[in-house]
Structure 1
């Protein structure tokens, strides 16, 4: 999915600015501004007033300049009322939540006494939906700004809801429910990355219900696991534990050649760490390591992506939570040596900064915090931002150092902007 902000580029050139010159006026990197014009990133809320001033436009006019123009590929997949280019982020969010209510009702309605035997027409979502959904997961995973995938995802959700309204055979209905379970996990991931945890939880709940209706235990378990993540990131570990216990039971009904049950174990380890149970945490991590004994296709790259590659950083997170910096440092250093997405790298850097704070190592705090903040600003990821918020509380005893005091203020500004 590609897009460009041609109107933003045209306004810049009309004022005689090169990308380098306008970046200098805005006090940002040229690469950051270039990413705005190519829709690879969005200006943060605190950056927009200054951008409007430099471009000599009103805030409303700036929003128009920042609206991406759809390319031919986007129009082919996202034309229709849900892809209105003037929609704000809040409008897009409300669209998804409105569709959630409608789709939830359609899934909950009982089957007709005499199921339809109508065959799905060629080219219907029953046939084409899974391939497009897989593409959307790839767009999401490859995008630095995860919100870029939302317009097409919300359009696809509308199409699935519309097709669910029509009479379907039992087999077609199950396939459509499977697509709902798939898409709402993706929508939840987009909201989760933006720190919209309540919205994400609603999406994961519907995804779990739809997956159950589809008879897909692995997808069902994954939706429950994602729901538990919401509680983990709010540090409500006692609430996450029973959700993960249910996910584990559901996963046991699934395909033993898939990695589902091992992913559930990895997330359970984080819950045990939050509850202060080192022994259970280690046991869960050891269970998760058994994913490496699987062979063949162990995940689908969409709603199930766990292959054990993240276990080093997950161990580091768990041991840091348990107050075991000796165990955490080796795990996090190992994770940082791997090929990571910008989002994951930023999270690991924030964890290493937190480790430095635990040890009162100010140089480690400053170096890793600044690197993490740079990636948080570059990607707009609330996931990294949440890690930095966790670090912020640990900076208070160290704020006699000017550098640490500045970092504390910068993290506050980042949180406020998010």
Structure 2
């Protein structure tokens, strides 16, 4: 994080704005303005609004946002969430260390002398499931997915401590189940921040913990989330065997849950990336069978698939397969459904990519601007990653000033993400 921006604060005050006033004018939280003045970088979508609000030229705003060196005797306290810079690297090392310890305790539970414990294991066995479910709900409803990270990290530390206590086999399996659950959520937080290597580490540990717990559905979900990392790195041939394994594990799970159908939906994306139209359609048709289930299909936590996203997933697959006609039908249908801001932003980005594919830059620009606005509101790297696909499709059109401008707008989001 840059040093404190005294000149930015001074400009705000000179115009008669409080932090609350400026936040309301820009449509952001007051805490966001406070973070900018403390050194955090504003996201790309808000920069034009800042230029107007502070009555500056873009060059003058860039000067105000430049780092101001501030000597520090003591290191700054870590901020909540997943901030950039040294603090981010410290958090990464912290999580990797915790992963190593927890992984060892799961794999070799009898290593050394188990500690008598302070009751942490018993307490977590009783309350851990409810707390995990609550954290998943907060994550699902929050516009900024990183906001839940500090509580998740604290809870993961408690699980590591509990695994060191002497306990029965049944209690250990229960703890492994809870660890597998929460490490999937930790992976989702890192995945949303575009930190794919860290997400993969979390999912790997979740796979091990779920296997130890003997929880096939949760195990299959952890494998599927790990495969997502490969999909978003366009490593489709690496994702395919992982998803095949997930499908086999899911077959041993609860047939009344939607696990196997979610695996099929993700397999469709892998097949689309490999250019296999027929296999993609077969996997999508299998996923559609989720609508034939009755009762409770998912738990809202590590398993959330209910088929409501299949329209947008079809659109993503058909876009990858070079079938814009089918993609537009599916994506347009998806926009008519109630979507979270994060999901709506992703669909808008796909429609922008479709516009660029068809060389319709006016349509592409409309969807890019809408997706950028939602990416800024949510702070989601997931939407930003979808917009990266738009940039790729804009490159052949860069002789047109409209394509160049759109490319620059998306790049500006990348530079402050």
TM-score, normalized by length of structure 2? 0.84
Aligned to 1:238: 237
Q: Structure 1's 57 and 118: CA in aligned 2 closer, same or farther, altered over 3 A? A: closer
For residue 242 of structure 1, report the CA deviation from its aligned partner: 0.1
Q: What is the RMSD of the two structures over their aligned residues, measured on CA atoms?
A: 3.4
For residue 32 of structure 1, report the CA deviation from its aligned partner: 2.1
Q: Is the CA contact (8 Å cut-off) linking 2:43 and 2:413 kept in structure 1?
A: no
Q: Deviations over 1:89-139 (max 9, x none)?
A: 333333222111100000010558999999968961010111111111111
Aligned to 1:391: 390
Q: Distance in 2 between matches of 1:408 and 1:239?
A: 30
Aligned to 1:310: 309
Aligned to 2:251: 252
Aligned to 1:132: 131
Question: Which moved further from structure 2: 281-290 or 42-51?
Answer: 42-51
Q: Structure 1's 106 and 416: CA in aligned 2 closer, same or farther, altered over 3 A? A: same
Q: Distance in 1 between matches of 2:251 and 2:34?
A: 44
Q: Distance in 1 between matches of 2:298 and 2:304?
A: 5
Matching of residue 17 in structure 1 with residue 17 in structure 2: yes
Q: Deviations over 1:254-283 (max 9, x none)?
A: 011110000000000000000111111000
Q: Distance in 2 between matches of 1:60 and 1:385?
A: 34
Q: Is the CA contact (8 Å cut-off) linking 2:184 and 2:302 kept in structure 1?
A: yes
Q: Structure 1's 191 and 119: CA in aligned 2 closer, same or farther, altered over 3 A? A: closer
Kindly report which structure 2 residues correspond to 1:274-285, keeping only aligned pairs within 5 A, or say none.
Answer: 274-285=273-284
Q: Distance in 2 between matches of 1:196 and 1:121?
A: 31
Aligned to 2:3: none
Kindly report which structure 2 residues correspond to 1:253-332, keeping only aligned pairs within 5 A, or say none.
Answer: 253-332=252-331
SS at match of 1:174: helix
Aligned to 2:178: 179
Q: Is the CA contact (8 Å cut-off) linking 1:228 and 1:244 kept in structure 2?
A: yes
Q: Distance in 2 between matches of 1:17 and 1:54?
A: 18
Q: Distance in 2 between matches of 1:37 and 1:403?
A: 31
SS at match of 1:32: coil
Question: Which moved further from structure 2: 14-23 or 193-202?
Answer: 14-23
Q: Distance in 2 between matches of 1:268 and 1:221?
A: 13
For residue 59 of structure 1, report the CA deviation from its aligned partner: 6.5
SS at match of 1:235: coil
Matching of residue 402 in structure 1 with residue 401 in structure 2: yes
Matching of residue 366 in structure 1 with residue 365 in structure 2: yes
Q: Deviations over 1:199-225 (max 9, x none)?
A: 110100000000000110000000000
Q: Is the CA contact (8 Å cut-off) linking 1:115 and 1:170 kept in structure 2?
A: no
Q: Structure 1's 402 and 23: CA in aligned 2 closer, same or farther, altered over 3 A? A: farther
Structure 2: which 5+ runs fail to align?
Answer: 1-5, 51-59
Matching of residue 108 in structure 1 with residue 110 in structure 2: no
Q: Structure 1's 64 and 171: CA in aligned 2 closer, same or farther, altered over 3 A? A: same
Aligned to 2:340: 341
Q: Deviations over 1:345-404 (max 9, x none)?
A: 111001001111111111111100111111112212111111111111110122222222
Q: Is the CA contact (8 Å cut-off) linking 1:120 and 1:126 kept in structure 2?
A: no
Aligned to 1:32: 28
Q: Is the CA contact (8 Å cut-off) linking 2:132 and 2:181 kept in structure 1?
A: yes
Q: Distance in 1 between matches of 2:109 and 2:319?
A: 48
Q: Distance in 2 between matches of 1:154 and 1:51?
A: 35
Aligned to 1:166: 165
Question: Which moved further from structure 2: 104-113 or 166-175?
Answer: 104-113
Question: Which moved further from structure 2: 46-55 or 291-300?
Answer: 46-55
Aligned length: 386
Q: Distance in 2 between matches of 1:45 and 1:66?
A: 20
Q: Structure 1's 375 and 60: CA in aligned 2 closer, same or farther, altered over 3 A? A: farther
Q: Structure 1's 33 and 228: CA in aligned 2 closer, same or farther, altered over 3 A? A: same
